[in-house]
Amino acid sequence: MEMMRKNALGILLVVMSVFFLTAAASAAEKKILRYGAVPMKSTLDMELNTYNMVMDISDHITETLVRYDDDMNIVPVLVKELPKPSADGKTYRFELKPGIKFHDGTTLKASDVKFTFERMFTPSTGALMTSLYTMIEGAPEMLDGKATTLKGFKVINDNVFEITLSSPYSPFLACLSASYASIYPEKACKAAGKDWGLTTFIGTGPFKAEKIDFDNAVSTVRFDDYHGTKAKLDGIEFVFIEDPNTRRMEYERGNIDVMWLDATIYPEYSKNAKFAPEIREFTPMGTIYVNLNFKFVDDVKVREAVSLAIDRGVLTRDLMKSTAKEATTFIPPGMMGHDPSAPKYEFNVEKAKALLAEAGYPDGLELEGIVRNTNATGTLGRTLLSVQNMLAAAGIDLKVTQVDPATWTDMRNAGKVPLSIGNWYADFADPDGLITLMESSISRTLSANYNSPEYDGLLAEGRLITDAAKREEIYKKADHLATRVDYATMPLFHETMYYLTKPYVKNFKMTPTYVFHFFGADIVK
């Protein structure tokens, strides 16, 4: 009997060994893409943040009704087809694709879409980008607390609904493509409460959230009941690595597969025989700019002085190693509203000093610049330090303070950041998705606090016009007003962006709106 027990034990050990080896082999064969991400410590809920790097994650989990394809055409996602507006240009009738499942197994219904938009306009939600959607009838009343339901949203049945606008708005479908309009399941979102986007986040996307840990990683796995083309990847690990040098080392060691490459170190990598072939580049629709809070500096002479003290040519040539284009407007080249005839912004230190003296600061003044510690050594942090040195020559003492991402977000949303270097990218291929940054309702949530009825009026006018040439002139005028008259923002440069990707990562896209889409990605080793 003893020998039999030993034989049985031996057989058991062999079986267990085979099992674990098989399991290990199976795990090793899984296609898990590892993306080295900057930690945001925010929320995956895109109604509550504006970060492109959060969109990198959320866009794989949640979906909008429509989106842009690779050729920048708007295409249906959750709806059967793109709706055409009614004869008066105000009502759009949508029909959902039948049987679309959320990650919790429930079926997408028109009531979930209605809930999503009503949640956005409920004041207690604190949604940041409501101005993109206030053309929907009844939205202003909800935001003002005068209504609890959205008048312009009508549920016809579980699959059909109508959205009515207060007036025609030509880029309405483009607005619906922005991540801020991602559709949420009513029951699950209500049940999660304040944990929505923090520990619970459910959508209809090709990947579902498996674990949300903003200190380490957000792990996603393929959603096999996805209504569209199934993902080839088994999952995506969005690995948060705070230090950019650590991210680089992890990429070089093969521990992450994709990561951003800061433009300031692009020249170093471009000369590296091993990694140069792994560099990719693209030009996003966006701008790097100085954000100077009107709550701290509302004198236009001081604001102009800040702009005059900045040598944008030096920033693009020396700081950005000639990888960026000096800005002459906030709207970047190639987008409607960019004025190619606009001259370079003036650089004149003596004129800046004179304006400061006229404003009552003959001996200069002090300002504080805030930067997230995760960006301190990246483009935004280095730009802030360069601007600090330039302002010093004009008598402006800029103190630079680093804070963690969570503190930064709280300060920014509360309007408490005096000065910062911002990067703003279009959420869709229309200038209204870009220069809405300076609209009063958005500006106050971004520590800018620009409040110009004239500027708001120009944007409102541009949204009503369908004639492209007329819209173009309106946005040119709005850009000029904000950047050369009121100095609401100080555009610095339009960057070329770089990222590293391992050769075995295939078929993924970087959108012009500066978001990674790994929907069709594959790992082929």
- DSSP codes, 132-200: GTTTBTTHHHHHTTS-SS-TTEEE-SSSEEEEEBSS--TTHHHHHTSGGG----HHHHHHHGGGBTTTB
Q: Helix/strand/coil (H, E, C) string of 83-136?
A: CCCCCCCCEEEEEECCCCECCCCCECCHHHHHHHHHHHHCHHHCCCCHHHCCCE
On the question of pLDDT at 433 being above 90, the answer is no
**Bridge pairing between strands 286-292 and 509-510:** unpaired
- Segment holding 441, helix H or strand E: helix 440-443
On the question of pLDDT at 416 being above 70, the answer is yes
Strand partners, 506: 522
Report how many domains make up the chain. Answer: 3
Query: What's the confidence (pLDDT) of residue 28?
Result: 53
* Residue 267 to residue 321: CA distance in whole angstroms: 8
The mean pLDDT of 189-202, rounded to a whole number, is: 97
Question: Per the domain annotation, does 1 fall within a domain?
Answer: no
379 and 487 in one domain?
yes
Q: What is the pTM of this model?
A: 0.76
464 and 384 in one domain?
yes
Q: In the chain, what percentage of residues exceed pLDDT 70?
A: 94
Query: What's the confidence (pLDDT) of residue 302?
Result: 98
Question: Per the domain annotation, does 145 fall within a domain?
Answer: yes
260 and 136 in one domain?
no
On the question of pLDDT at 490 being above 70, the answer is yes
452 and 309 in one domain?
yes
Query: What's the confidence (pLDDT) of residue 265?
Result: 79
State the first-to-last Cα distance of the chain, in angstroms, to the nearest integer: 50
245: domain CATH number is 3.40.190.10
Question: Per the domain annotation, does 48 fall within a domain?
Answer: no
On the question of pLDDT at 53 being above 90, the answer is no
Query: What's the confidence (pLDDT) of residue 468?
Result: 85
Query: What's the confidence (pLDDT) of residue 11?
Result: 43
Query: What's the confidence (pLDDT) of residue 4?
Result: 37
The mean pLDDT of 506-513, rounded to a whole number, is: 82
513 and 442 in one domain?
no
Using pLDDT thresholds of 50, 70 and 90, give the confidence band for residue 515: confident
480 and 347 in one domain?
yes
Number of Cβ within a 10 Å radius of residue 134: 20
Range of lowest pLDDT (169-173, 425-429, 446-450): 425-429
On the question of pLDDT at 96 being above 90, the answer is yes
345 and 483 in one domain?
yes
* Residue 141 to residue 146: CA distance in whole angstroms: 5
Query: What's the confidence (pLDDT) of residue 183?
Result: 98
Question: Per the domain annotation, does 161 fall within a domain?
Answer: yes
Range of lowest pLDDT (336-345, 440-449, 460-469): 460-469
Q: In the chain, what percentage of residues exceed pLDDT 90?
A: 73
Q: Which of 122, 155, 187 is the last residue of a domain?
A: 187
Q: Across the chain, what does the average pLDDT equal?
A: 91
Query: What's the confidence (pLDDT) of residue 377?
Result: 80
Return the higher-pLDDT residue of 41 and 34.
34
On the question of pLDDT at 21 being above 60, the answer is no
Single out the residue of 204, 207, 230 nearest to residue 56, CA to CA: 207
Question: Per the domain annotation, does 300 fall within a domain?
Answer: yes
Q: What is the dihedral of CA 176, 475, 134, 93, to 10 degrees?
A: -40
Q: Helix/strand/coil (H, E, C) string of 262-311?
A: CHHHHHHHHCCCCCHHHEEEECCCEEEEEEECCCCCCCHHHHHHHHHCCC
Question: Per the domain annotation, does 168 fall within a domain?
Answer: yes
Query: What's the confidence (pLDDT) of residue 13?
Result: 40
On the question of pLDDT at 15 being above 70, the answer is no
Residue 141's alpha-carbon distances to 88, 128, 135, 137, in angstroms, are 22, 16, 11, 9
Provide CB contacts within 8 A for 436, sequence distance 6+. 129, 131, 132, 442, 459
Range of lowest pLDDT (2-6, 369-373, 464-468): 2-6
- Chain length of the chain: 525
Residue 455 in tokens: 């500027």
Single out the residue of 119, 121, 142, 141 nearest to residue 130, CA to CA: 121
Using pLDDT thresholds of 50, 70 and 90, give the confidence band for residue 348: very high
Please answer whether residues 448 and 490 qualify as being in contact, where contact means their C-beta atoms are separated by less than 8 angstroms.
no
Identify the domain containing residue 273 by its residue range. 34-38+205-282+497-523
Using pLDDT thresholds of 50, 70 and 90, give the confidence band for residue 25: very low
Using pLDDT thresholds of 50, 70 and 90, give the confidence band for residue 18: very low
Query: What's the confidence (pLDDT) of residue 24?
Result: 39
The mean pLDDT of 202-206, rounded to a whole number, is: 98
Question: Per the domain annotation, does 366 fall within a domain?
Answer: yes
134: domain CATH number is 3.90.76.10
* Residue 421 to residue 412: CA distance in whole angstroms: 12
**Each residue of 273-304: b (16+ CB within 10 Å) or e?**
eebeebeeeebbbbbbbbbbbbebbebebbbb
316 and 257 in one domain?
no
Query: What's the confidence (pLDDT) of residue 7?
Result: 46
- Give the CA count within 13 Å in the CB-facing half-sphere of 171: 26
Quick: pLDDT tens for 246-255.
988 999 999 9
Question: Per the domain annotation, does 228 fall within a domain?
Answer: yes
* Residue 323 to residue 224: CA distance in whole angstroms: 41
472 and 377 in one domain?
yes
* Residue 160 to residue 10: CA distance in whole angstroms: 64
The mean pLDDT of 100-123, rounded to a whole number, is: 98
480 and 367 in one domain?
yes
Query: What's the confidence (pLDDT) of residue 27?
Result: 42
Range of lowest pLDDT (47-51, 58-62, 264-268, 365-369): 264-268
Return the higher-pLDDT residue of 524 and 2.
524
The mean pLDDT of 150-173, rounded to a whole number, is: 95
263 and 118 in one domain?
no
Query: What's the confidence (pLDDT) of residue 312?
Result: 98
441: domain CATH number is 3.10.105.10
475 and 369 in one domain?
yes
What phi, psi does 90 have (nearest 5°)? -115, -25
